[in-house]
Structures are given as structure tokens and as C-alpha cells.
A = this chain, B = another copy of it.
Amino acid sequence: MALIVQKYGGTSVGSTERIRDVARRIARFRREGHQLVVVVSAMSGETNRLLALARDLSPDPDPRELDVVAATGEQVTIGLLAIALHSMGLKARSYTGAQVRILTDSAFTKARILAIDEANMRADLDAGCIVIVAGFQGVDGEGNITTLGRGGSDTSGVALAAALHADECQIYTDVDGVYTTDPRIVPEARRLARLTFEEMLEMSSLGSKVLQIRSVEFAGKYRVKLRVLSSFEDPEATSSGTLITFEEDDVMEQAIISGIAFNRDEAKISVMGVEDRPGIAYAILGPVAATNIDVDMIVQNIGASGHTDFSFTVNRTEYEQAMEVLLRERGTAFKAREIIGDNRICKVSVVGIGMRSHVGLASKMFKTLADEGINIQMISTSEIKISVVIDEKYLELAVRMLHRAFELEKEPVPSTA
């Protein structure tokens, strides 16, 4: 008997028929003797419908009140799922974030979880009751309803698993695991049986939208075993999905490269011919950060004759605003010969924990792209990934060629360590 936290996303509970499927899956786990805490999102489309109503009333809705509205989406689902389970003769009890209580700070629309009271849930579990919790939401110290921001239900699931010391946190979604890359681009893409948290962090932050990045960080911090599974399979089928583990040794298949991630939501800005002096990076990026624009990759070349070029990427939706800020600050905060922007770029990354102990991977990546005549505009590396910025139009070609070059379609040979 294990204590399992399961999280079902919006498409998994998108209709009463789908909710019934989820109930059947829960019933199977219950029959197998497991204790279950189930976290659910709003029915797909519901959160958008609610936010559209709010935006119809104000272009900039009050965040406290926006959370009051948005939190109803998950509240509907917990009640419906409990009703479905009751009708199958199972004991179940729903909790809103406030009822649990999932205490958060007061940063409405993007609150962070501070503490979880497990007393009620524990009593229910001990009584053989399935606990159903509204994802995405909590309550602050003053009793105000808060939400964790988009995708926050994953974080709710992981946080509950951590608080309850669950054996596993299962994230059910519309894919059956994490793939070596997007199968829509590379049909040979292969599902990974296991992946480390560090790899998953790189994969998800780079655009593999299987899991919300904060939930992965959370899982890593509290050493919660995460498993990604499909809710679209037969509820009676036993699938293993992809296990995301904090134990590097758990990763039996010692592939050097785990996958190819990519992101086409970015834009590149280059500030050319700036003074090569201490503080220049802050002079350029300070005003951008002050406008609450997130900067992703940052590259600065070695300068010549006291000048240097400085490039960075921002989210494409914030590109125009970032350009405005820089053009406004140019001449005061910093001097620059030219500011060039390009919002038709993409980022492609090769990710793998094995990279730590293997050399020559970067040059293999660069050669693969060069062979296809794809120009690399920016390069950035970390211990377990290499990212390049290229013209957006080459995205699919680059991902396909890299997937092939690193032979990701093949099952890795088990390590003999």
C-alpha cells in the first residue's frame, strides 16, 4: 500500500465523461489498496472563460478579485469528481485550497505556497476516504483566496505530495510521458522511462510543456518522485509513463543526451558597440528588469578597441516593450552604436545529464547544424545543456537533424557501471 498523489490537468477533466474516466482510474488504484490524494485543474477552457469575463469588465482586473473568479474553476471540478466517486460507491471528500488549508503569501495571481495543513487529509485517508483537492489555489493569512498562476495545479500536487511524504506524485496529462523531443516534429521521438530533475528542468524551461517548471523545482527541493502519465489511456491499463527522479543512480539507461528541447516564444535583442566597462551589463539590463521583463539567455562577446556587443533574449510577448525601454535609455544609461531586435528566432537545446562526463558534444551539435547550412546566432551552455539561437524557420529541420545525430530514436544501452 502506497500513498499516492495524483494530479489531473484540464483536458483530463474536460467533460463529465472524462471526469468519469478519471474516477474509474482512481477506483482502480483504490482497489489495489493505495491511499489517494487527487489534485485537479479546472475543466479545460474554463479558466480562459472566467478570465475573459473579468477582462471584459476591466483591461487590468484587480488581482485579488481575479483570483476569486479564477479559483471557481477548480472548485467545480473537485465537487464533480467527488460526486462521480460517490456514485461508484467510493468514499471521497473535496477540499478547496482554503479548506485544506494551503497557506500562501498574498501575491494574488502568482502566490507561493508557504505551508500545508495535513491534519484533515490525514484523517480522511486513515478513514479510507479519497481526498480531492482543488489545484492552483490557496488562501493567504487573512483568508483571501489566492491562485498560484498558470499551471499551478502541478505545483499544488507536488506540494501536497511533499507535505504528506507521499510515495509518488503522478501527473496525468494528455501525453504519456516525456519524449526525447516533440513527436509532432520528429515522429521517431521516444518516450523516456526515467529522467533526472535537472534534465527535466532544462526540458521544461526550454519549452517541453509537460510540467510546470516551478513544480519540478519544488519536487527536486523536497525530493518528491514525480511520474508523468497519460490520462487518455484505458483507466484499467497500467502504464509507467516517465519517472522524474532525484536519484541519478535511478537513471538506469545512461544516455549521454536525453532530449532535444526547443522554444519559439523568444525574441533576440542585440545592443551593438557598447563601452566594454564594468557595470555595462547592469546599465543595459537593469532598466529591462525594472520593467518586469524576464531575460533568458545573455551573451556578451569579448570586445575590441574598448567596445563590445551584448545580446539577450526575452519572451516574444515582451519584445516590443523591451525594445522601447532600451531605445529610451540609450544615451543616458548607456551608449550604443546600434540596437537590433529580431523576434523571428528560436532556441534549440541539447539536454543530458551525461554531458557532464562527455566532451565533444557541443562540436557535434554545431557540425550538425553547419551541415544543414543553419547559422548559429547565439550560444549558451550549462552543465547539462547546450542551447543555440537560430532563425525560426530552421526550427523543425534543426530538431530533426539533432535528434538523428544523437541517435535518440534508439533505446540506450543499459550502463554497465
Contacts and interface: CB of A to CB of B under 8 A. Distances in A.
A285 interface: no
Given A72-B76, A75-B71, A143-B99, A65 B53 contact: no
A102 interface: no
A68 interface: yes
A7 to B, nearest CB: 19
A68 B79 contact: yes
| Copies per assembly | 2
A93 B144 CA distance: 10
A84 interface: yes
Given A80-B57, A143-B99, A65 B50 contact: no
Given A98-B98, A99-B143, A69 B58 contact: no
A16 B57 contact: yes
Contacts of A99: 143-145
Contacts of A68: 75, 78-79, 82, 94, 96
Contacts of A53: 16, 76, 80
Interface residues of A, number: 38
Nearest to A43: B53
A145 B87 CA distance: 20
A235 to B, nearest CB: 15
A181 to B, nearest CB: 38
24 contacts: A20-B57, A53-B76, A54-B83, A58-B83, A58-B86, A58-B87, A61-B83, A61-B86, A62-B83, A64-B82, A65-B79, A65-B80, A66-B83, A68-B78, A68-B79, A68-B82, A68-B96, A69-B75, A69-B76, A69-B79, A71-B75, A72-B72, A96-B145, A99-B145
